[in-house]
Chains A and B, each alone.
Chain A
Amino acid sequence: MKHSIFLFLATFMFASTLYGQDKPIDLGEVLIVADTKLEDFSNTQETTILTDSIIRKSKPSLTNLLNTNTTIYFKENGAGMVSSPSFRGTTAQQTAVVWNGININSQLNGQTDFNTINPTVFDELTVRSGGGSVLYGSGAIGGTIHLTNTLSYKKGFRNSVSLDYGSFDTYGVTYTGEVATNTFSTKIAVNRSGSENDFEYVEKEGKNLNGSFYNTSVNTTIGYKIDEDNTLTLYNYVYDGERHFSLIFPSELPTKYKDFNTRNLLEWKGNFTDFTSKLKLAYLTEEYKYFPNIEKPDFSTANVESFVAKYDAGFTISEDIRVNGVLDFTQNKGEGTNIQQETRNITAFNLLLKHNVSNRFLYEITTRKEITNTYESQFLYSAGASFRATDFYTIKVNTSKNFRIPTFNDLYWQGSGNPDLKPETSYQAELGNHFNFQNFEVGVTTYYNAIQDMIRWLPNGSAWMPVNTDRVKIYGLESQLGWSHTIGKHHFSANATYAYTVSKNDKTDKQLIYVPYHKGTATLGYALDRFSAYYQFLYVGEVFTNSDNDPKFNVDAYNLSTVGLDYSFGKNKNHTLGFTVRNLLNTAYESVASRAMPGRNYNLHINLNF
C-alpha cells in the first residue's frame, strides 16, 4: 500500500509541473447574497473568491484554506489550536471576519480564532484586501474575510453528504440539504469535525499531548419571496466547539477551552425601480469557557450578546450613479468572570457613492460617522477609482481611514480595563495593477499603511492596563497569478500568490513579531474526465518572535507540499472520492515557536450528491 502511494506520488509530481486545477464550480443560478456591498463597493480593491470546490479540498480548517490560497499569514499555536491571522502585516485584531455582511469578530478580544470556523458550512469565501471599516466596521484594517451563504429559487430537492477520515483520528461529516420552490428556498449545512490530534513529532521524541478537539457547526438559510419586489431571508449559524490546548512539556497542566457562538440575521429586502430598501436585524452571542486545569470543574468565562439593526436605502440616481445611505445601530452587552456587566451602544451613519463614469472608469466614495459614548468616535472614509486603461490592463487606486475599537476586555477588564482608550486608527493607500490576457490573470498591488494608537497591555503598578501606545508603519506588495487552459479533455490550471511585507514599529524600527517578510503559495491542477489532481505548495518565510528581532529566537522558514487526487463517479459524475496527502515531505516545522506541527498525514474523503 505504502509503496504504491509513493509510486503514484512520484508520477504525479512529474505530471503536476505541467498541469492545472479543475475550475471552480459555476453555480449558474440566481443567488441571493446578504453581503451585497462586497460586490458593489469593492471595485477599487483586491478581492479573491474561494468557491465551494476549493473549500471542500481544505477541510476542516479555515486556517489551512486561507493559508494555502491567499497571502494572509497565520500564526497557529499548535495544530488546531488558537489561530490568528496577520493580513498585510497587521495584528490579529486588525482582520475582520464578516458573516453574511455582519462583522463577527469577538467583542471580548477583538479577533476571530480561525480554527473556530469550519468553512464547509459556507458556500463562498471571499478575501478582500485592505481597509474596509466603513462597510464592515471595527478591525477591517488589514483586510476582511467574508463567509457567505447563497440561496437559489430553482425548484428542487438537493442533498449532499461528505465524509472524511484521516491521520490522528481526524474526521469530518458534513450534510447539506436544499429545498426550493419559486418563492421559497431553504438550505441547511451541518458539520461535525474532530481529531485526536496526537501526532508524533517529526525529528524529535514525543508526541502532541492534550491536543484533541471537536466541534459542530450548523448553518441554516431560509428565504421567502413575499411578492415580486420583496424578499425575506433568515440566516442562522451556530458553532459549538471544545479544544484541549496542546502542551509543550508533558508536565504542563492540561487546559481546555470551549466556544459557543450563535449568529442570527433577518433581512427584508425590497427591490423597486430606482430604489432598494434593506432592513437587517441581527442577534449574535458569543461565549467562552476556559478551564485552567482539566481535572477541575473551575473555569473562567465571559459572554457578549450583540444586537444590530441596519437600514440601507439605495438610490439609482442615473444609470451610472448609485447612492446608498445606511443607518446602523449596534448594542453589545457583555459580562464574565472578570468583566462586570457593561453595555455599549454605537450608532452610525454611512453614505456611499459609486459612479461609473464610463465603461472604463469608475470611482467609489464611502464615509462613516459613528456616535457612541464609549470611545472617541471617528469619521472614516474610503475613496477609490478603477480605470481600465487597455483591454488587458486595469489600474486601481484606493485610500481609506479605518479603525479598530477597544474591546470589552480592553475597556472593562476588572482592575485593568481602561475606559479612556481611543480606537486604533489606520490611514492607508494602495495601487493595484491588473493584467488580463488570454488565459492569464495577474494582479500586483502595492500598499502603505500607517497605524497609530495601537492598543497594548502594559503594567501599571502591579496591574496591567491597556494603553494606546505604538505606531506601526507597514508597506508591501501582494501579487496573484491565475492561469487556466484546456486542450481537448485536458484541463490545466495554475494559481499563485506572493506577498512581501514590511511592518515596523515606528519607535524601534524593528519588524513586528510573527510577520514574515515573504510568503508564497502555488496550486497546480489537472483534470481529465473523471479524474482531477492537484499539487499545492506553501512557503512561509522566517519570522521574528522577539521584539528586538534577535535571530536566535526566529521561527525558521518552511515550505509544505500537499497533493490530492479526486475521482468522480456516478452517472452524472455527481459523487467524488478523494485522497489527500499533507506535508508530503514530512517536514519538521513550527508556526509558533516551540509548537511542533504534524508531519506527513493522510485524508480520505467521499462526497455524495443526490
Chain B
Amino acid sequence: MKRIVSLLILALVVSFSFSSCSSDDDAITDDDGGEPLGEYDNGSFILNEGNGNPATASIAFLGDDGILVNDIFRSVNPDADEIGSFLQNMFFDDTRAFIISGSANSVTVVDRYTFEYIATVTGDFEAPRYGAVANGFAYVTNTGDFSTGDDDFFTAINLQDYSTTRIDLNNWSEKVLEENGKLYIANGYYGDGNSISIFNPQSNTVEATIDLGPNNSPNSLKVEDGVLYVLTSGFDVQSKVFEIDLGSNEIADTVSVPSEIGRASNLVVEDDLVYFTSGASVYSVGVDENNISTEPVLTYESNSEYGVMYGFNVEEDGIYISDGGDFSSNSKAFKYSLDGTLLETYTVGVGPNGFYEND
C-alpha cells in the first residue's frame, strides 16, 4: 500500500516534471561575460529528485564550459542536514535559490551562486510543488490532497525572515511563474482543472481566471515578449498550445498538436520557437506558425521504461534532456545541438527532473 501511494506520488511527479525554468527574467546577472558571482554562475543546475532515501537526492551543476559537477549542495555544505528527497522544483530571486522537497515538506534556501546554505523553511506546507518570487515573498503552490483542487493553497514565504503564511487558492495549483509583478498559476494536473489564474501579490488575491476550455489541463507555461504560452494536455483530448496576450488577458491564438504526436508536455519558448516533447521526441514550431510538423527535431534513445524525457530545457546553445532511468540508480543527461545532434552525455544523480539556468 505504501508502495502504491509512493508510486502514485511518483507518477504525479513523472507527469508534471518541470519543463524549463530559465531564470533570465528575474535575475540580476553578471550581464553575461562579467566576473562570475560564484562557483555556480554561468551554467544550469540539474535537480536529481532522488527516491525515498534522502541520500539519493542531489543537485548537479553543468557549467557553460561543459563541465559537470555532481552533488554540489553536500560538497559546499558538508555539515548541513539533508534537504529532503523528491526534490520537486527550484526557483530563484536575485541572490538566492529555493529548493522544494516533497518528502520533507520544506524549502531549502541557498545562495544561488555559491550554493552556501542559508535557511530551511518549514511550516504551512502540504505537498509543496512549484514556486516563484514576487513582491519580497516566495510563493509556493501546495497540492494538499492529490485528488482534489479544493484544498490547494500558496505558502507565502517572507524573504526577510523566512516566516510563512498560508493563502487559500481553492483551485488546482501547480506550476507558477512571475511576470511584471503578477503570478500566473497553472490550474490543473492530470487532466483535472483547466484554467490559468492571475494572482496579485500586492493584495494576495486571484484577480482573474482565464478558462482554457474543457479537458485542457495546463501542463507547462512560459512567458515570452508579453505573451503567455500554455501547453495543455488531458485524457482523450488533443494537446494544444494557447497564446495569451498579457495586455488583455485574452486567448490570442490556439494551436493544436497533431494527434499523431500524441500527448505533449514540457513547453519551452526559446528564440522565437516553441519547443515541446512527446515520448522520447522533441518537436518545435515557430511562435507565429499555426501548423506543427509531425517531424521531430530529435528522438533520443532511452532504455528507461520509467521516466522518458523526465527533464527538458532548451537554451541558446542547445537542447538539454534528462532521463529518469529506474529512479533507483544514477541516471543520464544529454545535450543536443538545436538541430538535434547529440553533443554530450552526462551521468547525473537519481531521477533528474529538471534543468535550471543560472546566468
B-binding residues in A (CB < 8 A): 77, 82, 108-109, 245, 248-253, 257, 288, 290, 292-293, 296, 298, 300, 302, 338, 409, 413, 457-459, 461-464, 469, 513, 545-548, 550, 552-553, 592-594
In-complex Cβ contact of A251 among B125, B145, B190, B329 (8 A): B125
| Complex CA distance for A513 and B329, rounded to whole angstroms | 11
The answer to whether B106 and A459 touch across the interface, beta carbons within 8 angstroms, is no
How many residues of chain B have a CB within 8 Å of chain A?
Answer: 41
Q: Are A249 and B11 in contact (CB under 8 A)?
A: no
Asked if B218 is an interface residue, CB under 8 A from chain A, the answer is no
Query: Do A251 and B104 touch (CB < 8 A)?
Result: yes
- For window 35-57 of chain B, which residues contact chain A by CB distance below 8 Å? 52-56
Tell me how far the C-beta of B69 lies from the nearest C-beta in chain A, rounded to whole angstroms. 16
State the CA gap A109–B4 with chains docked (Å). Answer: 9
A547 x B305 contact (CB < 8 A): no
Query: A459 near B329 (CB under 8 angstroms)?
Result: no
9 A-B pairs besides A257-B1, A459-B11 with CB distance below 8 A are: A245-B2, A249-B82, A249-B101, A290-B2, A300-B5, A463-B11, A550-B329, A550-B330, A594-B82
* B145 touching A547, Cβ below 8 Å: no
- Assuming the contacts A249-B84, A251-B122, A293-B126, asked whether A82 and B2 have C-beta atoms less than 8 A apart, the reply is yes
B53, B84, B103, B125: the one within 8 Å of A553 (CB): B53
A338 to B8, CA, bound (A): 11
**Contact residues, B109-128 vs A (CB, 8 A):** 120, 122-123, 125-127
**A547 with B104: CB separation less than 8 A:** no
25 A-B pairs within 8 Å (CB atoms) are namely A108-B1, A248-B82, A248-B104, A249-B82, A249-B103, A249-B105, A250-B122, A251-B106, A257-B1, A257-B2, A292-B5, A293-B145, A298-B145, A413-B4, A459-B306, A461-B263, A462-B11, A546-B330, A547-B326, A548-B329, A548-B330, A550-B330, A553-B53, A553-B55, A594-B82
A462 adjacent to B7 (CB under 8 Å): no
CB <8 Å contact, B305 and A288:
no
Q: Report A-chain residues with C-beta under 8 Å of the C-beta of B55.
A: 552-553, 593-594
Q: Are B4 and A462 closer than 8 Å at their CB atoms?
A: no
Which chain A residues border B307 with CB–CB below 8 Å?
459
Is B329 in contact with A547, judged by CB distance below 8 angstroms?
yes
In the bound complex, do residue B11 and residue A464 qualify as a contact, i.e. CB atoms below 8 Å apart? yes
Minimum Cβ distance to chain A for residue B221 (Å): 18
Q: Are A553 and B11 within 8 A (Cβ)?
A: no
Q: A301 — nearest CB in chain B belongs to which residue?
A: B1
Nearest 10 pairs of A and B residues by beta carbon = A548-B329, A251-B122, A593-B53, A462-B15, A249-B104, A547-B328, A251-B106, A547-B329, A458-B305, A464-B11
- B14 contacts A459, C-beta separation under 8 Å: yes
- Structural contact, A253 and B2, CB atoms closer than 8 A: no
Contacts of B105 in A (CB 8 A): 249, 251-253
CA distance A553 to B82 in the complex (A): 14
> Which B179-201 residues have a C-beta within 8 angstroms of A?
190
Q: CB-defined interface of B326-358 with A at 8 Å, one 1/0 digit per residue?
A: 101110000000000000000000100000000
A459 with B1: CB separation less than 8 A: no
- Cα of A424 to Cα of B263 in the assembled complex, Å: 32
Q: Which residue of B lies closest to A288 (CB)?
A: B1
Contact residues in A for B190 (Cβ distance below 8 Å): 462
- Name B350's closest neighbour in chain A (CB-CB): A546
Interface of A is mostly: loop
Flag if B326 contacts A457 (CB, 8 Å). no
- Which residue, A290, A296, A338, A464, has most C-beta atoms of chain B within 10 A? A464
Q: Which residues of A are found within 8 Å of B330, using beta-carbon distances? A: 546, 548, 550
A76: shortest Cβ distance to chain B, in Å?
Answer: 13
Q: Which residues of B contact A251 (CB under 8 A)?
A: 84, 104-106, 120, 122-123, 125
Chain B residues with CB under 8 Å of chain A are 1-5, 7-8, 10-11, 14-15, 52-56, 82, 84, 101, 103-106, 120, 122-123, 125-127, 144-145, 190, 263, 305-307, 326, 328-330, 350
Nearest residue, chain B, Cβ from A513: B328
Docked Cα-Cα span, A459 to B323, in Å, equals: 13
Q: Which residues of B contact A245 (CB under 8 A)?
A: 2
A545 / chain B contacts, CB cutoff of 8 Å: 53, 56, 328
Tell me the complex Cα distance, A79–B101, Å.
24
Please give, as numbers and ranges, the residues of chain B lying within 8 Å of A249 by CB-CB distance.
54, 82, 84, 101, 103-106
**Least Cβ–Cβ distance between B5 and chain A, in angstroms:** 7
Q: Whole-angstrom distance between the alpha carbons of A456 and B2 in the complex? A: 15
Using known A-B contacts A548-B330, A553-B55, determine if residue A252 contacts B104 with beta carbons closer than 8 Å.
yes
Shortest distance from the beta carbon of A411 to any chain B beta carbon, whole Å: 13
- Which residues of B lie under 8 Å from residue A257 when comparing CB positions? 1-2
Residue of B with least CB distance to A251: B122
> Inside 8 A of A82's CB, which chain B residues have their CB?
2
Contact of A290 with B329 in the complex, beta carbons under 8 Å: no
A252 vs B127: C-alpha distance when bound (angstroms): 9
Bound complex: CA of A248 vs CA of B51, how far in Å? 13
Chain A CB within 10 A, most for which of B4, B84, B120, B126: B4
- A310 to nearest B CB, angstroms? 28
Residue of A nearest to B324 (CB): A459
Chain B residues whose C-beta falls within 8 Å of the C-beta of A550 in the assembled complex: 329-330
**A109-B4, A459-B307, A464-B11 are contacts. A253–B328 as well, Cβ < 8 Å?**
no
Q: Which residues of chain A come closer than 8 Å to B56, judged between CB atoms?
A: 545-546, 553
* Candidate in B8, B82, B145 with the most chain A CB atoms within 10 angstroms: B8
- The smallest beta-carbon distance between A39 and chain B, in angstroms, is 34
CA distance A248 to B105 in the complex (A): 11
**In the complex, A525→B293 CA distance in Å?**
78
Q: For A288, what are the chain B residues with a Cβ–Cβ distance below 8 Å?
A: 1
Q: Report the separation of the CA atoms of residues A298 and B151 in the bound assembly, to the nearest whole angstrom.
A: 12
* Contact pick for B328, options A458, A461, A463, A546, CB 8 Å: A546
